[in-house]
Structure 1
Amino acid sequence: MPVGPFINCLSTLLGALIGAFLGKKIPERLRLNLPLTFGAASMGMGISMVVKVHMLPPVILSLLLGSAIGELLKLEKGIEWCAQKVRGPIQKIFPSDNSIVGSQENFMQQFVGIVVLFSASGTGIFGALNEGITGDPSILISKSFLDFFTAAIFATALGYIVTTTVIPQFVILFGLFFLAGIIMPLTTPEMIADFSACGGIIMFVTGLRISGIKAFPIANMLPALLIVMFISNYWTAFFG
């Protein structure tokens, strides 16, 4: 029973619905300042994962190669295109206040950031795999608290479109939960450590983006998560 993925997706959906419903009823100081806290929390979680690294070179190599792949595939542009296609119909049903949303660039920067934070963070991916093997949902339940409040606050500005982030989150978390029995036996503690470190770096720069400090192309960095354990395994075999 995928308890963790279910709770995580439900918390994101409820947070987005509540935040979008409340809208301007949330004081402006909370809408402006809490995202900074969420960004700081993401950076803190990222740092806690990076310090578990086994070997840094394969992690850095994975990030470089993964980012190159993401740039060539234009993953971030793809997410932005999907967001634009979905945003129009949703705004017709639930009109939003553009003065809250801000510029198109600001909207995309925030939306892509939360999609990655909810769906493809190292914590979420590892939590789903870990529960699939051990049955322990604690990692994803802990992540659910952050996702609930993050979705609520960002939905006050972005509107009901934040609910659509549950779709990739559901697909990824449930998919990994059911694939865990195949993936985890092929890994080693060293590979998991480097995977966590790679995810931690992506979470750290996601925090920078959510806080409005620097708009890293985080979606384009995601392929690194697919190749880091493979590179870590062979790096350890040849140089470890």
Structure 2
Amino acid sequence: MVLLGTLVNAALIVIGSIIGRLLKGIPENMKQTVMSAIGIAVVVLGIQMSFESDNFVLVIICLVFGGVIGEWIDLDKWLNRLGQYIEVKFGSKDKGGSIAQGFVTGTLIFVIGAMGVLGALNGGLRNDHELLISKGIIDGFTSIILAATLGIGVLLSAIPVAIYQGAIALFATQITKIVPEAALKLFLQEMTATGGIMIIAIGMNLLGLTKIRVANLLPSLIVVAIAVAFIHNF
């Protein structure tokens, strides 16, 4: 079953979020301390990811062009509107956090990174789900803390994770036929580094140091794919 790893990953996010909401009664000062710890950990993770690139100038160029495209489309606004729409459907804001904020933050953290892409490809090509299940365990523990501090909206981030990774798993055979192995390896490397910068921005937002519209940087990942295709072919 090619979607097993994806479904386990999404399910662990849901389970972790539910557990996190059961812990919502923890004192406010404890929540702030935990959120600071998460923010710092996320920044460190982003720094580690950003060192994957062998050509940091390429990462900067992709972030600049991706940021311009993202601001033009204003993905951040649309993601927040989707979260707010869900919030209205729930009837009110989740006590202890905004559903929109939890949804957007969770989606960005769980979607960005090469682990999901590699895991989905392994699942689709070899029926090997170990990597995605490992990612699911990490995401599950992360979602516990995020849901305890940001609210139940974190649970809803399981939906884009399932769609994104599921699509890659289902079309894995076609992807590997079209994309040469060397190009795919380069893409994953540069995507990890570019995603790492976004992860750093998410961590800084969680720490309250910045208010970066990270969702508007997501087109950078598409720009990375275009740049890699150009480099590989020329």
TM-score normalized with structure 1 length:
0.82
Secondary structure of the residue aligned to 1:232 is: helix
In structure 2, the gaps of 5 or more residues are: none
Deviates more, 1:130-139 or 1:38-47: 130-139
Q: Equivalents in 2 of 1:135, 1:45: separation in Å?
A: 28
Q: Is the 8 A contact 1:53 1:197 kept in 2?
A: yes
Q: 1:142 to 1:154 in 2, by over 3 A?
A: same
CA distance in 2, matches of 1:22, 1:149: 13
User: Offset at 1:176?
Assistant: 1.5
CA distance in 1, matches of 2:138, 2:195: 17
Q: Indicate whether 1:19 and 2:20 are aligned.
A: yes
Query: Shift of the alpha carbon at 1:12?
Result: 0.7
Inter-partner Cα distance in structure 1 for 2:195 and 2:144: 24
Counterpart amino acid of residue 16 in structure 1: S
**Percent identity among equivalent residues?**
28
Q: How much has 1:64 moved relative to structure 2?
A: 1.2
Query: What's the counterpart of residue 135 of structure 2?
Result: 143
Partners of 2:102 and 2:153 within 8 A in 1: no
**Structure 1: segments with no counterpart, 5+ residues:** none
Which residue is 1:204 aligned to?
200
Q: Which residue of 2 aligns with 1:156?
A: 148
What is the one-letter code of the residue matched to 1:78?
A: W
Q: Which moved more, 1:114-123 or 1:68-77?
A: 114-123
Distance 2:69 2:201 in 1: 18
Task: State which drifts further: 81-90 or 225-234.
Answer: 225-234
The change in CA–CA distance for 1:233 and 1:89 in structure 2 (over 3 A counts) is closer
The one-letter code of the counterpart of 1:231 is A
Q: Distance in 1 between matches of 2:127 and 2:49?
A: 21
Question: What's 2:210 paired with?
Answer: 214
- Residues 60-91 of structure 1: per-residue CA shift (max 9 Å, x gap): 22111111111111100001111111112224
- Aligned ranges for residues 46-195 of structure 1 at < 5 Å? 46-92=46-92, 96-97=94-95, 100-101=96-97, 111-185=103-177, 186-187=179-180, 188=182, 189-195=185-191
Q: What is the alpha-carbon root mean square deviation over aligned residues?
A: 2.6
Amino acid at match of 1:154: L
- Of 4-13 and 53-62, the range deviating more from structure 2: 53-62
User: Residue 182 and residue 60 in structure 1: after superposition, are their counterparts in 2 closer, same or farther (change >3 A)?
Assistant: farther
CA offsets 1:110-166 (integer angstroms, 9 cap, x no match): 542222112334433343234433444343333323322332223234433332211
**CA distance 1:157–1:34, change in 2 (3 Å):** closer
Aligned residues: 229
Q: Aligned AA for 1:225?
A: L
8 Å contact from structure 1 (residues 122, 200) kept in 2:
no
1:59–1:232 contact (8 Å) kept in structure 2: no
What is the DSSP-based 3-state SS (H/G/I as helix, E as strand, rest coil) of the residue aligned with 2:24? helix
- In the TM superposition, residue 201 of structure 1 has moved relative to its aligned partner by 1.9
In the alignment, is the contact (CA less than 8 A) between 1:16 and 1:163 conserved in 2?
A: yes
Please tell me whether the aligned partners of residues 44 and 204 of structure 1 are also in contact (alpha carbons under 8 angstroms): yes
Once residues 123 and 208 of structure 1 are traced to their aligned partners in structure 2, the CA distance between those partners, rounded to angstroms, is 22
Deviation (angstroms), 1:206: 1.9
Amino acid at match of 1:62: C
Q: Which residue of 2 aligns with 1:35?
A: 35
Structure 2 CA distance for partners of 1:13 and 1:136, relative to 1, 3 Å: same
Distance 1:3 1:47, change over 3 A: farther
1:49 and 1:136 map into 2 onto residues whose CA distance is 24
Structure 1 residues 181 and 199, CA gap change in structure 2 (3 angstroms): farther
**CA distance in 1: counterparts of 2:145 and 2:190, whole angstroms:** 32
